[in-house]
Amino acid sequence: MACWIALTDDRGRLFWASAARPGRSSEITACRHDQLTAKLRAAGLGAIADLGFIGLDDSEPDAAPAVITGYKAARNRPLTRGQKLSNKALAAVRAPVEHGFAHLKNWRVLGKVRTDPKWATALVRALLVLTNREVSR
């Protein structure tokens, strides 16, 4: 199974998909390998990500964050009221984005991809175009 990263705009329309990686690599490792935060900063963009991306943007402490994530509770440290409100606001912003990913995941062939990542990359990028065409109808 292949792993890739995709980006959407604030309305949930998919506009970029990374190259596919072997399924054993994690999403945050793929972002670091592709230098996603540096590319977002260079383009003047930012991203809102789920809790799986906590720590992705720690390399440049003085720079404005390129990737914003929520707060994760620890076993011995529950979230404060402000952190819970922040997570709730981020979840509301991310809802349309998740719909964009859901449209891409509707393609059943993605669940059966057991091929070389370079072929999976071409497949995902083709499905990205088809998904945008289907959704915009």
**Containing structural domain, residue 33:** 2-122
Q: What is the pLDDT of residue 111?
A: 65
Does any domain span residue 130? no
**Contact predicate 90/48, CB 8 Å:** yes
Residues 6+ apart with CB under 8 A from 121: 2, 4, 17, 19, 20
Does any domain span residue 17? yes
As a whole number, mean pLDDT of residues 48-63 equals 80
Model confidence band, residue 129 (pLDDT cutoffs 50, 70, 90): confident
In total, how many domains does the chain have?
Answer: 1
Does any domain span residue 114? yes
Per-residue model confidence as pLDDT tens digits over 1-49: 567 788 888 888 888 888 777 767 788 888 888 888 888 888 888 888 8
Model confidence band, residue 120 (pLDDT cutoffs 50, 70, 90): confident
As a whole number, mean pLDDT of residues 64-87 equals 92
Residue 70, number of CB atoms within 10 A of its CB: 20
pTM, entire model: 0.72
Q: What is the CA radius of gyration of the chain?
A: 16
